[in-house]
Structure 1
Amino acid sequence: MNYIGKKVEEFKVPAYKDGALTTVSSDDLKGKWSVLFFYPGDFTFVCPTELEELQGLYEEFKDIGTEIYGVSTDSEFVHKAWLDASEQMSKVEYPLLSDRSFTLCNQFGVLIEEEGQARRGTFVINPDLEIVLYEVSADGIGRNAKELLRKVKAAQYVAKYGDQVCPASWEPGDDTLTPGIDLVGKL
């Protein structure tokens, strides 16, 4: 299924953030850029490396008006225990959502049913709650937070300047392209 342009459906799930149990809902995503970062499970191997790398860039994501949400099928209590037990995970400041009901995993098509876990799925959602970018990879393949940050910046640029597009490896400040007949065969 193609998720580009799909609207996020209403949801409300338990979460753990800043030493407190809380909830996160689709209303929390409205009006800002969001990244839902699905991962298979707490207390695993590749997952903490990804979440730690995201934390290292969290301020940069916030600087561009983007909130990060880590999502797994573990409970909010397990999220707390993981952050309490692991030095590298204790640094995580963004919310960790608990999708024990599989509401989000099913909505975003990342549930591994026979395991009750999420695939490694990354979904960038615009302020209108539309998916503008997503990536799903095999369980053993870690993602790159720097590339995700670059892609979010490109998505924001395209949303702001709809007549321009960002070529491969585009970074803010680089030249963009304005699609049109004059570019045909010139690239």
Structure 2
Amino acid sequence: MLTVGDKFPEFELTACVSLEQGKEFDTITHKSYEGSWKVYFAWPMDFTFVCPTEIAAFGKLQDEFADRDAQILGFSLDTQFVHHAWRRDHEDLRDLPFPMMSDVQRELCSDLGILGSDGLPMRAVFIVDPNNEIQFSMVTAGSVGRNPKEVLRVLDALQTDELCPCNWSKGDETLDPVKLLSGE
């Protein structure tokens, strides 16, 4: 699996971006949000149980991610049409403010190294900086949902470009190595 310091792979995927007729789909590439932070997250498949709880939770935090110049981008192996049907049929997904990308050819998942032994994407998250370098990666078991608030907390810490202690939150003091070494 790709991890911190690796470049996020190039890709071109079709995404479900809306339920509005005629505006349902768009092409998203690795250059679509160039110069911004990106939060990519993969889920195993649509019409499941844990996945919509995570997707909806990321959607509810969209404004906070946007305030940090970060774009959320979700993806699975399902087609854009399946994404559209799921969004249409699942109340919590209808108004998602971010693209649901279709990696039906398994290219992005393969390049990231997140295909599980069952052939499905693992529950992975990547925070990618404006230079397209991965700054955070995480995978959980398929039965365990991720915590989008924790992903936001990590993004905040990364954007300080300082040393952040355990459980640091935005607004907390960061660590000053000079003070720590001098015993202050």
TM over 0.5: yes
Match of 1:149 among 152, 156, 159: 152
Alignment correspondent of 1:6: 6
Alignment correspondent of 2:180: 183
SS of structure 1 residue aligned to 2:158: helix
1:58 correspondence with 2:62: yes
Alignment correspondent of 1:169: 167
Instruction: For 2:146, give the aligned amino acid.
Output: R
1:51-76 deviations in Å (ceiling 9; x for gaps): 11111111111111110011100000
Superposed, 1:20-59 pairs within 5 Å as: 20-59=24-63
Alignment correspondent of 2:18: 18
Gaps of 5+ in 2: none
SS of structure 1 residue aligned to 2:32: helix
Residues 97, 2 of structure 1: alpha-carbon distance in 2 compared, 3 angstrom cutoff: closer
Superposed, 1:10-159 pairs within 5 Å as: 10-19=10-19, 20-112=24-116, 114-158=117-161
Structure 1 distance, partners of 2:53, 2:171, is 30
SS of structure 2 residue aligned to 1:22: strand
**CA apart distance, 1:29:** 3.3
SS of structure 2 residue aligned to 1:70: strand
SS of structure 1 residue aligned to 2:14: strand
**CA apart distance, 1:91:** 2.4
Once the two structures are overlaid, the 10-residue window that deviates more, 126-135 or 5-14, is: 5-14
Asked whether the equivalents of residues 70 and 95 of structure 1 are also in contact (C-alpha less than 8 Å), the reply is yes
**CA apart distance, 1:116:** 3.0
Asked whether the equivalents of residues 9 and 108 of structure 2 are also in contact (C-alpha less than 8 Å), the reply is no
Asked whether the equivalents of residues 12 and 28 of structure 2 are also in contact (C-alpha less than 8 Å), the reply is yes
TM value normalised by structure 1: 0.90
Give RMSD over aligned pairs: 1.7
Residue correspondences, number:
180
Structure 2 distance, partners of 1:74, 1:155, is 31
Asked whether the equivalents of residues 73 and 116 of structure 1 are also in contact (C-alpha less than 8 Å), the reply is no
Gaps of 5+ in 1: 159-163
Structure 1 distance, partners of 2:100, 2:182, is 47
